């Protein structure tokens, strides 16, 4: 059937990848990170597939409320915390856990109170220099939090470079967090993201926060997802919508940037940057058709892209094309486009049809490239 771009989300792969995370950190509890619409996989559907997690982590209160409205009962951690009194009230009403990372948030709590909030996680900046208190200010904040109405507390930080395990910054951050925990050993800690879970067991503590690995994407630079036991959860596909011959010397696409070196057979795929396929650097990449890689030629358009199918004479309109997913890792597409897998999986647009499979959609006969 001829059709436009579509996503197939493998719910079984999500559950499998969660088991990999839990097995890698067997003494820790797990906040499954489902912010940004579960990295483009669908917030509620992904959370239900990840139901074996001890809790979920989201960026904002709005995402947390969407989970509660869908009947998700597990603990929910809001990584950016509350931004106003109304969000504090919502956190109390729906039993949310909030990160406190700045003085203004502490003042908001001192003004409006903490009654009903399930837990407050005080965030320390151990070296990423994004959110969090410096050590001395954070210890003062901890004393002020303890002076408020009793509420369970925790300590957390975030690793900046754990995806590159040989870099020295991670060891520095881990040591800073270790020294912090020595001062308050009675409070639970959370430090490890996906890369930290897999590469730095010393960073596990009581809670880990897997994100990217849950979606079957390698969080470690230079390591393939399947080598880590992960399965891709997102298959981004489309169809050939046209096939034609192009003479030698003829240009293809906007700007005439690419010209045929000889007579070629050209396929037009019904997907483009309007669907979330990357425009920049795409001509260095390829798609998968009939089990083979075929190169992208010319500029990616809003709704279409062109591929050279000269070596696949059987290709015809309606044939399935893999943009990334089964047999073509999103990490590879990201490298070709000079970007990160995070941007690609989060960036598939809303016009793309989404389907969810409760069973594994990965054909055992497919070899992942």
Give the catalytic positions in this structure. Answer: 35, 254
- Taking the C-alpha atoms of residue 239 and residue 150, their distance in angstroms, rounded to an integer, is 58
Other CB atoms closer than 10 Å to residue 368's CB: what's the count? 16
**Burial bucket for residue 67 (CB in 10 Å: 0-12, 13-18, 19+):** buried
Q: Which residues, listed in sequence order, are joined to residue 208 by a DSSP beta bridge?
A: 30
Q: Please say whether the beta carbons of 312 and 322 come within 8 A.
A: no
Q: How far is CA 58 from the centre of its chain?
A: 12
Distances, alpha carbon 257 to alpha carbons 265, 276, 297, in Å:
18, 22, 9
Phi then psi dihedrals of residue 291, to 5 deg: 80, 10
Sign of the four-CA dihedral 143, 147, 149, 150? positive
- Taking the C-alpha atoms of residue 247 and residue 269, their distance in angstroms, rounded to an integer, is 19
Other CB atoms closer than 10 Å to residue 15's CB: what's the count? 20
């Amino acid at each position: 059937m001829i059709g436009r771009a579509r996503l197939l989300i493998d719910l079984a792969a999500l559950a499998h990848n969660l088991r990999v995370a839990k097995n890698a950190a067997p003494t820790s509890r797990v906040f499954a990170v489902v912010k940004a619409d579960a990295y483009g996989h669908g917030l509620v559907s992904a959370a239900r597939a990840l139901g074996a997690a001890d809790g979920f982590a989201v960026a904002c209160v709005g995402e947390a409320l969407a989970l509660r409205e869908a009947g998700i009962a597990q603990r929910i951690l809001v990584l950016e915390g509350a931004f106003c009194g109304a969000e504090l009230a919502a956190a109390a009403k729906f039993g949310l856990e909030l990160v406190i990372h700045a003085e203004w948030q502490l003042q908001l709590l001192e003004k409006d109170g903490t009654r009903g909030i399930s837990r407050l996680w005080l965030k320390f900046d151990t070296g990423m220099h994004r959110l969090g208190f410096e050590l001395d200010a954070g210890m003062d904040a901890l004393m002020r939090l303890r002076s408020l109405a009793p509420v369970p507390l925790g300590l957390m930080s975030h690793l900046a470079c754990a995806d590159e395990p040989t870099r020295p910054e991670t060891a520095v951050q881990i040591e800073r967090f270790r020294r912090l925990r020595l001062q308050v050993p009675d409070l639970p800690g959370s430090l490890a993201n996906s890369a930290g879970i897999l590469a730095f067991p010393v960073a596990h503590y009581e809670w880990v926060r897997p994100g990217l690995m849950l979606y079957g994407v390698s969080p470690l630079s230079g390591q393939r997802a399947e080598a880590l036991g992960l399965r891709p959860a997102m298959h981004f596909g489309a169809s050939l919508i046209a096939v034609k011959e192009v003479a030698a010397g003829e240009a293809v696409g906007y700007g005439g940037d690419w010209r045929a070196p000889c007579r070629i057979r050209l396929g037009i795929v019904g997907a483009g940057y309007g669907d979330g396929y990357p425009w920049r650097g795409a001509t260095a990449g390829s798609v998968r058709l009939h089990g083979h890689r075929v190169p992208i030629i010319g500029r990616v358009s809003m709704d279409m892209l062109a591929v050279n199918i000269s070596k696949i004479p059987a290709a015809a309109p309606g044939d399935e094309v893999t943009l990334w997913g089964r047999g073509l890792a999103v990490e590879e597409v990201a490298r070709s486009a000079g970007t990160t897998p995070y941007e690609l999986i989060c960036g598939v647009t809303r016009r793309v049809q989404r389907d969810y499979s409760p069973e594994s959609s990965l054909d055992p006969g497919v070899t992942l490239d």
